[in-house]
Amino acid sequence: MTRTAHFVFLSSATGRRVLLAGTALLAACSGAADGGGDGAPALAGNAPPAMDTATLSADAVQIAGFTTDTARTVPWRASVTVPGRLELDPNSLETIGSITEGRITHVTVRVGDRVAAGQALVMVHSHEIMDARSTLKASLARVTAMEAERDLAISAAERAQRLFDNKAMSRAELDRAVVNRRVAESNYTQAVAERDRATALVEHLAGTGPLPAGADEHDVIIRTPIAGVVTGREAQPGTVVLPGTPLLTVGSPDRLQLEMHLPEQQAVGIEVGATVRYALTDRPDQRYDAVVMRVAPTVDTLSRTVQVIARLSGRTAGRAETFVQADISGRGTTPALVIPDGALQTIDGDTVVFVAEQRGAGMHVRATPVRIGRRSSERVEVLVGLPEGAIVVVRGVAIAKAELLKRRSAGGE
């Protein structure tokens, strides 16, 4: 009697061919149960090869520029992706106010202008500078007079000493000459001090060097103490100001910080010292580093966000008021098996990674289904399907996927 077997090939979600043994319908006969009939099929050795692997040649590996990474267990770090804004560091800003009472006559700069240290920015017509210059002239004249009196008193004291030594002058006359010399020297010292004070006042009000164009001796010259960029201007010609009235704000363009506003729930786990990776909106392929230096202790009542300020690590290509996309990594929490986010691929609806094995100059890759958990901007947690220490393809993974699909297509799928 004969024995007939039905075999069906089904493709799983990942495309593996699985040989399923169907039902065996046996005709009743006395020798059928021992399985030794002449018509018994021997198909075990004819099963199709697994179609979830591919071996790439050395040339393919070189052209694709493969890079790999290792699945490793590390503390999971909370990660948030938010927009941010580069701004001038407030510690680098210098608010320049009026140093006198008067009327503004000239403003020589506008917002955005670069200025050098000591550059004249605002001119204020004031009687104070007139008084200061007058006092300086008077003090200079007094120094000249006191210097002459001092020299005369010194000469008289020296002559009195010679006469006293020759018994031609009394002790009282000598003492009187010495006292006159000391008084003259003291008067000269006082005159020099008054001159220096008047000079310092004029330098404070007008600065050193020649007067800028458009200014006269009656103008107080407001200068910037630092080099930088004008970020604010309140001064307007014709305005009457008092001492301390804000006129301009100057900041250093090289000292920037990153300001971000995190939703209240996403701010959990973000603390001072957290790392930040950010990219300019017009240069998304270039990333820069920063470190969180301040997390606001309160939540904004209107937006329900928390302000986070980060200090830039190194230089950046951005300018103040440039918008960026920032990834903030918080503190580490529970351990997790992680791989780079770029290693993930989707095949037939399944999430897979390509496990790599070096084969000389070539590479053998195997598509391995995985189940993932938490994700950040750069890392993903693997829950099932991948052992720790596995080598996975990151860069060039799309080429590995294309090679695998080509292999499957050639296999008749």
Structure tokens at 113: 């202008």
Cβ neighbors of 297 (< 8 A, separation 6 or more) are none
Q: How many CB atoms lie within 10 A of CB 396?
A: 22
CA distance 139 to 132: 10
CA distance 290 to 321: 16
Residue 79, H or E segment:
strand 72-88
Please write the tens of the pLDDT for every residue from 177-230: 999 999 999 999 999 999 999 999 998 898 876 678 878 888 999 999 888 899
Instruction: Profile the chain (413 residues) by mean pLDDT over runs of 10 residues.
Output: 34 33 32 39 39 74 82 81 90 91 93 90 93 94 96 95 92 94 96 95 84 83 90 93 95 89 82 89 86 93 93 83 87 81 87 87 85 80 91 85 76 49
Structure tokens at 212: 């800028």
Please write the tens of the pLDDT for every residue from 149-165: 999 999 999 999 999 99
CA distance 245 to 239: 11
DSSP letter, residue 297: S
Query: Token match 């300018």: residue?
Result: 319
Among 93, 76, 192, 211, residue whose Cα is nearest residue 136: 192
CA distance 286 to 318: 11
